[in-house]
Amino acid sequence: MGQEASARLIRAFIDAFNQSDWSAMARLVDEEVVFDTGEGERLIGREAFHTFFVTRSRYFRERMADAEIFTGQNDTRGAAEVTLRGEYLETVSGLPEARGQSYALSAGLFFDIDAGCFSRVSLAYDRPALAALLSSG
């Protein structure tokens, strides 16, 4: 797959996220994808991956901005640094009450790429920082 193709795959993931097209995102991952949610949970499988984003969209309206995409020399790994911009729609347990707060938070995405799709996706962001932003917003 070359570095350019890996970068295009990551860009397609970000574009699908920004369009809230969870089905398109799911088509980019392996049937047995390993997904680290950024919330301390690891999910296995395309269906669990899809369900996570469908559920999350009830609570947050988000898009990834300012994306910087990186690919490894062996084309099997990639990453993206993004600003997660969103609106908090419905209260999540462990977070402040939702009042339509807007937020911008740095986040990272890490990918393992195998046979033209993602076999692992890890989302990393500072959940306490998100809680603080939602408390002050």
Is the pLDDT reported for residue 25 higher than 80?
Answer: yes
Q: What is the pTM of this model?
A: 0.94
Is the pLDDT reported for residue 3 higher than 90?
Answer: no
**What is the greatest pairwise CA distance in the chain?**
45
* Nearest Cα to Cα of residue 92 among 65, 118, 62: 62
For the chain, give every domain's residue range: 3-136
Q: State residue 1's pLDDT score.
A: 66
Residue-wise pLDDT tens digits, 73-100: 888 999 999 999 999 999 999 999 999 9
Residue 2 banded pLDDT, cuts 50, 70, 90: confident
Residue-wise pLDDT tens digits, 47-70: 999 999 999 999 999 999 999 999
CATH architecture type of domain 3-136? Roll (3.10)
Q: State residue 73's pLDDT score.
A: 82
